Structure 1
Amino acid sequence: MDQGAGGVHELLCIVEQIALSNNLSLDRLTTPEARSILGSYRVVVASTGNLGYSIGVVGRAFGLVAEIHMSADAKAWKKDRLRDIGADVVEHACDYSETIARARVAAENRRDTMFVDDEGSRHLLTGYAVAADELARQLDARGVRVDAETPLVVYLPCGVGGAPGGITYGLKRRFGDAVATVFVEPVASPCVMVALASGLASPPSVYQFGCDNGTIADGLAVPRASALMLDAVGEAIDAVVAVTDSAMLDWVRTAWNRSALRLEPSAAAAFAAHAPFNLAAKHEPEWPRLDRATHLFWATGGSKVPDPEFTALLSPDYADAEG
């Protein structure tokens, strides 16, 4: 399931705000007059790929100027994909947290500029929460019951935390204690894990705990978790599992070989967390029906990975080649 819903929701809120401030009819936003006005506005966001792409696609569709700031972890093909749709890509030789800070500064005091804050946007968080309704409909269509006797365990790849946090909020509102959400992070970038374990009021950086934030999972390479997300749903997170790059790569290959499912490493993280979560949780008294649970893996992307890049991921020598 895609994580673009939060970005689309945020962008639509921005378009609505611009339209209302310019007396534009909301049902005529694609007219030449409306696009002329919308084209004088710029939306700025930091991203390693998926969020920037959703902002770029929808923003450009309405005629907005889309400025995407990308960290050193972002893949070259994701930058090219954004340029192909007419977005302005600003590259930074730093990690994602610093890229967000630089993008925020770049947007300050600029006329007709809107900043999408991946660390602190409630519009993003609530946009992601809508995914719970979509999931509920899919489960109903398949006759999957979710209750105390047959719980649901959802594995969510986690970067800064906005997407899994919003999804957790939506799932808990709908299913309550019958659902457990498991945040999945790279061992080099366990920003939510260290934030919850530290007990500090402000989320610490993984660097403070000896982690280097170096991972093949570019979408999850985040050294500091969202304070907004932790404040909103931190106590509702049931578990956090850190997985290795090699485990993610193994699941990229397994998903392709068994099911022709095309995943990038960030998306494969959810599958890699299944075994360690079950090992840790099987003796927990609050989960007596874990053996009857439905396990759901949130795959966040991969269908757009260029063929040469994906073929390389399937090679058993890829990890060694990457160093």
Structure 2
Amino acid sequence: MDRSDIDSCLRLFDKHGGHFLRKTPLWKLSGADLGVDCAEVWLKLEHLQVGGSFKARGMLSRLLANPIPAAGVVIASGGNAGIATAAAARALGVRCEVFVPTSSPEAKRARLRDLGAEVVVTGAAYAQAFEACRARQQATGALLTHAYDQPEVLAGAGTLAAEIEAQGGVPDSVLVSVGGGGLIGGIAAWFEQRSRVVALEPERASTLHSARQAGEPVDVAVGGIAADSLGAQRIGQLGWQVTQRHVQDALLLSDEAILAAQRWLWKELRLAVEPGAALGLAALQTGAYRPRADEKVALILCGGNVDPATLA
């Protein structure tokens, strides 16, 4: 996975995806606006993307790059990847079936049904839902779309980084939430060493951090406030490979810090994002990541599928 794969995806989107994807805003603020000692903080408002998350890019990439059988597409997801796949499938006029774990929020299940997807709730965590999904794919012949560990999915996520560069240039650093590694894999593959890409994970769902301690991807226990969107049990092989080449820092954040940042974004900026999208601000506000005074830091607000009532 490298920039050439993302360039190919950009051309595919230019040809077929312009009616579906949104170019999401890049909001540049001074560090002082967020209480951070750095020159600028760039907020990439990807929670405004189709389906409410960055996942729309990777899922559309997967569907456009492959023939879709009569059985349609099938995916296992904590919510956002399923929503994105369902939205892309509806746009392309194909059938979609989504397997979600019991930990997935009802709001996301309802959104899936609104998009016309058939929803199957099974398993306590993503890994169990994925096994049921894979069995279904083998029985029906549907196109299996993985939430984070397919080349087309990483390339689609990488178009987000290309869009940031087109809108504002290359930031000094990019702070990225990590679940299965699809988002950070795509972003790191685009920026390579031109920007410092920093991996951020909840303490209770640390796939990349644990893999680095073990020297290889390993299963981890998953829980906590961001488990529905960052609840992969193991870092994806593709994300692991890219981060080994291009990502030096893998930082952990507490649920309390994530929740405080999520509420701050709503209270101060009226940005309704899910917990998994608040890790970048949490890293800055807690000092887990300390930028230079002259640094331009990009934060990816990667998902907004949240019940606003929970933000009060």
| 1:210-289 pair list within 5 angstroms | 213-217=222-226, 218-274=228-284, 275-279=286-290
Does the 8 Å contact 2:253/2:282 carry over to 1? yes
Structure 1, unpaired ranges of 5+: 19-37, 141-145, 208-212, 283-289, 315-323
- CA distance in 1 between counterparts of 2:102 and 2:237 reads 23
Matched, 1:159 2:193: no
- CA distance in 2 between counterparts of 1:139 and 1:62 reads 32
Tell which structure's C-alpha radius of gyration is larger. 1
1:222 shift after superposition: 2.0
- CA distance in 1 between counterparts of 2:90 and 2:309 reads 31
Find the partner of 1:131 among 152, 157, 160.
Answer: 160
Q: Residue type of the partner of 1:206?
A: V
1:98 shift after superposition: 2.6
- Counterpart of 1:120 in structure 2 is 149
Matched, 1:168 2:188: yes
- Counterpart of 2:103 in structure 1 is 73
- Counterpart of 2:60 in structure 1 is 8
Does the 8 Å contact 1:184/1:240 carry over to 2? yes
- CA distance in 2 between counterparts of 1:72 and 1:109 reads 23
- Counterpart of 1:29 in structure 2 is none
- Counterpart of 2:93 in structure 1 is 63
Please report the RMSD computed on the Cα atoms of aligned residues, expressed in angstroms.
Answer: 1.8
- CA distance in 2 between counterparts of 1:295 and 1:154 reads 6
- CA distance in 2 between counterparts of 1:311 and 1:116 reads 32
TM-score, normalised via structure 2 length: 0.77
| 1:195-214 pair list within 5 angstroms | 195-200=211-216, 203-207=217-221, 213-214=222-223
What are the superposed Cα offsets for residues 34-78 of structure 1, whole Å, 9 maximum, x if unpaired?
A: xxxx7x332011111211111101102222110111122211110
- Counterpart of 2:114 in structure 1 is 84
SS in 1 for 2:76: strand
TM-score, normalised via structure 1 length: 0.75
Q: Relative to structure 2, which stretch is displaced further, 67-76 or 269-278?
A: 269-278
- CA distance in 1 between counterparts of 2:124 and 2:93 reads 30
1:109 shift after superposition: 4.1
1:104 shift after superposition: 1.5
- CA distance in 1 between counterparts of 2:102 and 2:232 reads 11
SS in 1 for 2:279: helix
- Counterpart of 1:311 in structure 2 is 309
- CA distance in 2 between counterparts of 1:8 and 1:119 reads 13
- CA distance in 1 between counterparts of 2:127 and 2:87 reads 23
Structure 2, unpaired ranges of 5+: 1-45, 47-52
- Counterpart of 2:295 in structure 1 is 293
Does the 8 Å contact 1:252/1:268 carry over to 2? yes
How many residues matched? 258
- CA distance in 2 between counterparts of 1:248 and 1:233 reads 23
Q: Residue type of the partner of 2:104?
A: A
Does the 8 Å contact 2:182/2:239 carry over to 1? yes
SS in 2 for 1:159: coil
Q: Larger relative contact order (C-alpha < 8 A, sep ≥ 6)?
A: 2
Aligned-residue identity in percent? 27
